[in-house]
Amino acid sequence: MSSDISPLAPKTYAALPPIRGARIETAAAGIKYADRTDVMLMVFDRPAAVAGVFTTSKCPSAPVDFCRENLGGGQARALVVNSGNANAFTGQKGRASTAMTASAAAEAVGCSEAEVFLASTGVIGEPLDASKFASVLGQMAVSASGDRWLDAARAIMTTDTYPKVATRTARIDGVTVTLNGMAKGAGMIAPDMATMLSFIVTDADIEAAALQAMLSRHVGSTFNAVTVDSDTSTSDTLLVFATGAASELGAGAISAAGDPRARGFSKALADLMEDLAIQIVRDGEGARKQVEILVTGAGSAKAAGRIARSIANSPLVKTAIAGEDANWGRVVMAVGKAGEKAERDKLAIWFGDIRVAVDGERDPDYSEAAASEVMKRDEITIRVDLGIGRGKARVFTCDLTKAYVEINGDYRS
């Protein structure tokens, strides 16, 4: 966890209300960090529906494997998250650690291990001492309360400089339901089916299959549309839980994502996911600028997405942004190397609302001074139109500064 808060950090944090049916507690188990919390326990007093998406890394962490096995059951009673150690690339010791943690959580909450979900974040390759969980989870389950969201977001931070939380509401059958979310992540961010760690809870009564369908539908335009450094984590985990407590107030159960009564909820879920995803970009390691890459006129949406990521992940583009240099030639380079159809003489590029290139060359009205003013902003949009189709995509990223190198050069020190 960095001591220097990102200049893009929010001035205030959202006030997250308690979610009926969910309680939270944090503790300092001494996994890696001194004098800070590093374990979060979320308890669902009655079985909650659960949906999830995970990293596509071929070297996933032990907790990711564990969650995938339990997700098919569709029910959750406990979530245990630790920071400081990813429990990834830890072999049989990693599997033993998840088993011990799940056993301790199940005993603390009074449920089966199949209803426990786990997530770990931190250093890869170091065994995780699960005995540290067994000594704290029992008391945490007793003292857990509904108003600990910000504390929980702090407990799961690693190189993050600020906790990431968000809340939304929706209406189902005339009843207001709440959605709360937290996330962590600042580096090793190039999600594919999730992002670092994010957990969302609602009191809506939504069955697991419907929840999964909505989550999967929205992840592409939210968590999968952000990149800090092009590196996909071994531990990416995004879980959504629905306690169903709003049913006691008259909100009927949602069993299908296509249920018209679920439209407002689905929209609120997408909005919440985008909020958290962008907060991760704004806390990118060493970041000083938030950047939106908008690609239009591509041969397909998939092609637009690949081109947008090529631009967003280019170290040359990102360092130019850090240096406030309106170097649109680097954008041309990133478009050309993406491997998707592009016609040089139809290409147009904008920095903010300033068109810098058109018809395959510098805009005849190009103004270096005007473009440079755009680059001084904290939030910058780079738009590229390929002029060959209707495909479009949007990706959020950040600049690449010297601080990124310093943070990662010293990460294990």
Per-domain residue ranges for the chain? Answer: 22-282, 290-409
Q: Is the pLDDT of residue 404 over 90?
A: no
Confirm whether 234 is a catalytic residue. Answer: no
CA 96, 36, 139: angle at the middle one, nearest 5?
60
pLDDT band with cut points at 50, 70 and 90 for residue 270:
very high
Query: In the block, which residue shows the tokens 């929706």?
Result: 170
Q: What average pLDDT does this structure show over 122-130?
A: 91
Q: What average pLDDT does this structure show over 134-145?
A: 95
Q: What average pLDDT does this structure show over 90-94?
A: 95
Instruction: State how far the Cα of 116 lies from the Cα of 123, in Å rounded to an integer.
Output: 23
Query: Which residues sit in the known binding site?
Result: 158, 184, 195, 285, 408, 413
Q: Are strands 164-172 and 175-184 parallel, antiparallel or unpaired?
A: antiparallel
Q: Is the pLDDT of residue 230 over 90?
A: no
Tell which wins on pLDDT, 205 or 226: 205
The b-or-e profile of 5-22 (16+ CB within 10 A means b, else e) is: ebebeeeeebebebbbbb
Q: Is the pLDDT of residue 376 over 50?
A: yes
Fill in the DSSP letter of residue 341: -
Query: In the block, which residue shows the tokens 């060959």?
Result: 388
**What percentage of the chain reaches a pLDDT higher than 70?**
95
pLDDT band with cut points at 50, 70 and 90 for residue 187:
low
Record the tokens describing residue 66, joined without a space: 């564990």
Of 121, 178, 195, 234, the active-site residue reads 195
Same fold, 22-282 and 290-409: no
Record the tokens describing residue 206, joined without a space: 């939504």
Q: Is the pLDDT of residue 410 over 80?
A: no
Query: Which residues sit in the known binding site for substrate?
Result: 158, 184, 195, 285, 408, 413
Q: Is the pLDDT of residue 49 over 50?
A: yes
pLDDT band with cut points at 50, 70 and 90 for residue 412:
low
Q: How high is the pLDDT of residue 1?
A: 46
Record the tokens describing residue 270, joined without a space: 């997408």
Q: Is the pLDDT of residue 2 over 50?
A: no
Helix (H) or strand (E) holding 92: helix 91-109
CATH number of 22-282, picked from 3.60.70.12, 3.90.1300.10, 3.40.50.150, 1.10.1740.110: 3.60.70.12
Question: pTM of the entire structure?
Answer: 0.91
Cβ atoms 51, 215 nearer than 8 A: yes
CA 239 vs. chain centroid, Å, equals 10
Of 237, 38, 34, nearest in space to 132 by CA: 38
Cβ atoms 312, 287 nearer than 8 A: no
Judge: domain 290-409, CATH 3.10.20.340: yes
Task: Please write the tens of the pLDDT for every residue from 386-401.
Answer: 999 999 999 999 999 8
Residue partners of 54: CB distance under 8 A and separation at least 6: 60, 64, 67, 68, 193, 194, 236, 237, 238
Of 215, 209, 210, 380, nearest in space to 311 by CA: 380
Of 256, 259, 199, nearest in space to 223 by CA: 199
